A and B are shown apart, each in its own frame.
Chain A
């Protein structure tokens, strides 16, 4: 199924797609975005499941009228802010410079997309 397509000459964009530089960029992006997405979705699901099925734990008091449920809810806010800030920093350092370098080296190769190629 994954046999190489029978093309004689690869297009210019395919050459960029296969270049070492682009593969590094793709790896930097995917190795951050995919695992982090899986992580925060699971963390959120854990919270939802606890809310449904662990009323005793969620109702336990932490301090004053503040209980575990409220703390966990606020933690979801905190992790959302933290992941956003983490990604912003990561993208600034690991994604933007490579993307800019590729864009500047190949500016003329890709033109505005054709629409309605049919």
Chain B
């Protein structure tokens, strides 16, 4: 048993109590929010009553997943500078959302991404395509979070065995469904806000403690991390993880592009822009999010290098090969080390923060995908727009239950899937299928239904097929099926190919089809998206 697991076992009671407090508090919020939900706008968009600052916190909560908190801190702790490369892509991406997407989406849409995509197109084919892509992106992302949660929570609680991991996945899945079904968007948003505050406070406290050990001199921290890593100054330079071969360099470029272009196409982020009253408030929420997320990623630098210096890569790898437990291990050291009360308290607190992070993100994903099912596929495709608001919201709640169940079952059987690869895949699909279609819909007058349908499906299918035939699935030691080899695509991330395919397909699909765009509808979309006339 590793040192982390044994100290986690000793103080399991405290950790469990903190988990319990968070769950109880968020359930109270959820029930309170649920009692105020009356209309579809309440359920899908939290009554559009949040302020820019509140929504900025909630966006940060939705975005700073366990992958960014634990994953990036761990990646920096083990691979040094290359771990930091992730956070830069994750942050710069927000400018795409700020400049091109947030305000037009808020002005011209109502509840989902498809509202904008289908605005001037034939409703059924475009909504079906957008709904499918929303659900696929969300499920990949959801799987990543839940698979990670199962491993992580068992590790943090110091329990071992498959049974404990499975019960964790089931419990996380059940809680996320409860948040969404009872609390709707209002409840989920408050859960995100609470989580974001906890995460920032926890990371901030650890950052200060790490820097204090090095006289608040970052250069001293870097030096200590470099010498403890055993790799010297190379630890502080790019290349340890991605610099090995030409393929790994291309893989990194592919990942970088997918991160920057994917964020503004993530459905669970897009629906957050509907929770504020105006486009100006949507802009303010992105500005707040950029500030909060930026500061958070700067703190992960201190956490990652701090873990490398103070915990050491041997201890980190002993607890988790991917480095996901670097941050909790660092917390224990900062509190005074294993066996001390301070260490136990810090470990329990940071573990609870990580748990809160996972729960909040999965709730946001479940809400976005069930909203798209109900609003796009059920109400507009199956019922052809004849469903009442009540029926629509009821179907959204059922969809949340079904999506939750599917995610639980898949996570139970997909525990070998690499969480980081799943997240990268979700970003690649969002960048290849959703972003091109959004940009063309908003800014290209000539774009038609055929173009929209081709860019969504081409982007979606290309990304998924390339991943299936990549080393993520077969042909490498870390593959899903390490014993067979049917891969022919060399990169783990499909973005470098699938994003251009998504853009090209939208363009070619438009030019080849005989459909004529409707100039009156485009004029209406343009006026609405820029002025907010007639906005919901």
Q: Which A residues form the contact surface with B (CB < 8 A)?
A: 1, 5, 7, 10-11, 13-14, 16-18, 22, 25-26, 29, 32-33, 36-37, 40-41, 44-45, 47-49, 51-53, 55, 58-59, 63-67, 69-70, 73, 76-77, 80-81, 83-85, 87-88, 91, 96, 99, 102-103, 106-107, 109-113, 115-118
Provided the pairs A65-B223, A67-B237 are in contact, do residues A102 and B533 lie with their beta carbons within 8 angstroms? Answer: yes
A40: chain B residues within 8 A (beta carbon): 92, 95
Question: Distance (Å) between the CB of B90 and the closest chain A CB?
Answer: 11
**A-B complex: 7 closest residue pairs judged by Cβ atoms:** A116-B385, A64-B219, A110-B534, A17-B523, A65-B222, A51-B238, A52-B249
Q: What is the CB-to-nearest-CB distance from B123 to chain A, in angstroms, rounded to a whole number?
A: 5
Closest B residue to A64 by CB, please name it: B219
Give min CB distance, B509 to chain A, whole Å.
Answer: 16
A22 to B91, CA, bound (A): 32
Given contacts A52-B238, A118-B384, whether A84 and B531 have CB atoms under 8 Å apart is no
Residue of B89, B523, B533 with most chain A CB atoms under a 10 A cut-off: B533
Q: B381 CB to closest chain A CB, in angstroms?
A: 9
A25 x B531 contact (CB < 8 A): yes
Of chain A, the residue at the smallest CB distance from B286 is A84
A48 touches B100 (CB 8 A): no
Please determine whether B92 and A80 come into contact, CB atoms closer than 8 angstroms: yes
Task: Tell me if B536 counts as interface (CB < 8 A to partner A).
Answer: yes
- Give A43's nearest chain B residue, CB to CB: B92
B150: min CB distance to chain A, Å: 33
Q: Which residues of B contact A37 (CB under 8 A)?
A: 95-96, 99-100
Q: Is the CB of B94 within 8 A of A113?
A: no
For chain A, what secondary structure do more than half of its interface residues adopt (helix, strand, loop), or is it mixed? helix
Cα of A109 to Cα of B239 in the assembled complex, Å: 58
- Measured CA separation A14–B286 after assembly (Å): 31
Beta-carbon contact of A116 and B94 below 8 Å:
no
Known contacts A16-B527, A110-B524, A113-B534; is-contact A70 B236 (Cβ 8 Å): yes
**Interface centre among A1, A76, A111, by most B CB within 10 Å?**
A76
Q: Are B88 and A77 in contact (CB under 8 A)?
A: yes
Alpha-carbon separation in the docked complex, A115 to B115 (Å):
9
In the bound complex, what is the Cα–Cα distance between A13 and B520 (angstroms)? Answer: 8
Q: Does B119 contact A (CB under 8 A)?
A: yes
The answer on a CB contact under 8 Å between A7 and B520 is: yes
Contacting residues, chain A, for B280 (C-beta < 8 A): 91, 96
B 481-536 contacts with A by CB, 8 A: 516, 519-520, 523-524, 526-528, 530-534, 536
- Contact in complex: A5, B238 (CB < 8 Å): no
Closest B-chain residue to A59, C-beta based?
A: B237
Give the residue name and chain of the B residue nearest to A56 (CB): B237
Contact yes or no, A5 B100, CB < 8 A: no
Report Cα–Cα, A76/B290, bound state, in Å. 13
- B contact residues around A65 at 8 Å (CB): 219-220, 222-223, 226, 233, 236
The answer to the question of B19 belonging to the interface, with a C-beta cut-off of 8 Å to chain A, is no
| Residues of the B chain whose Cβ atoms lie less than 8 Å from the Cβ of A13 | 520, 523-524, 527
Residues of B within 8 A of A47 (CB): 88
Interface hub of B243, B380, B524, B536 (most chain A Cβ within 10 A): B524
Cβ of B252 within 8 Å of any chain A Cβ, yes or no, is yes
B533 with A115: CB separation less than 8 A: no
Cα distance, A77 to B526, chains bound together (Å): 32
Among residues of A, the one whose C-beta sits closest to the C-beta of B297 is A77
A32 to B384, CA, bound (A): 39
CB < 8 Å neighbour of A55 from B92, B219, B238, B536: B238
Within 8 Å of chain A (Cβ to Cβ): is B291? yes
Set of chain B residues within 8 Å of A106, measured between Cβ atoms: 533
What is the chain B residue whose CB lies nearest that of A116? B385
Task: Find chain B residues with CB under 8 A from A5 CB.
Answer: 516, 519
Residues from chain B with a CB closer than 8 A to the CB of A17 are 523-524, 526-527
Contact B252 A115 (CB under 8 A): no
Residue of A44, A55, A110 touching B260 (CB-CB under 8 A): A44
CA distance A115 to B114 in the complex (A): 11
Find A84's partner among B122, B290, B379 (CB 8 Å cutoff): B290
Q: How far is the CB of A47 from chain B (nearest CB, A)?
A: 7
Can you spell out 13 A-B residue pairs with CB atoms less than 8 angstroms apart?
A: A37-B99, A44-B260, A51-B85, A53-B249, A64-B223, A67-B236, A70-B81, A83-B95, A88-B287, A91-B283, A111-B534, A113-B528, A118-B123
